[in-house]
Amino acid sequence: MPITRTVTMLALAREALERFDNNADAAQAYLSERLVSDGQLREALVKAAIEYERLEMIEAPS
């Protein structure tokens, strides 16, 4: 199943790393603060994760 690039932790991690020139510590600090302060972002991540896993379970062979 192709993964649609929606709001995912991987997409956010890449964005943060690009923003801070691959400085992992700075990217992590930025992303951690963003997740703490942005309720809509947290909600979008939860929804995306649940939908992804739901689709994986539906498509998985029994």
Residue 7's φ and ψ, nearest 5 degrees, are -75, 105
pLDDT given at position 7: 66
Residue range 2-42, pLDDT digits in tens: 455 566 888 899 999 999 999 999 999 999 999 999 999 99
Task: Report pTM.
Answer: 0.71
pLDDT given at position 1: 40
Residue 11, helix vs strand vs coil: helix
Q: What is the DSSP string of 25-52?
A: HHHHHHHHHHHHH-HHHHHHHHHHHHHH
Instruction: Give the residue, 33 or 52, on which the prediction is more confident.
Output: 33
pLDDT given at position 4: 56
Instruction: Give the residue, 26 or 56, on which the prediction is more confident.
Output: 26
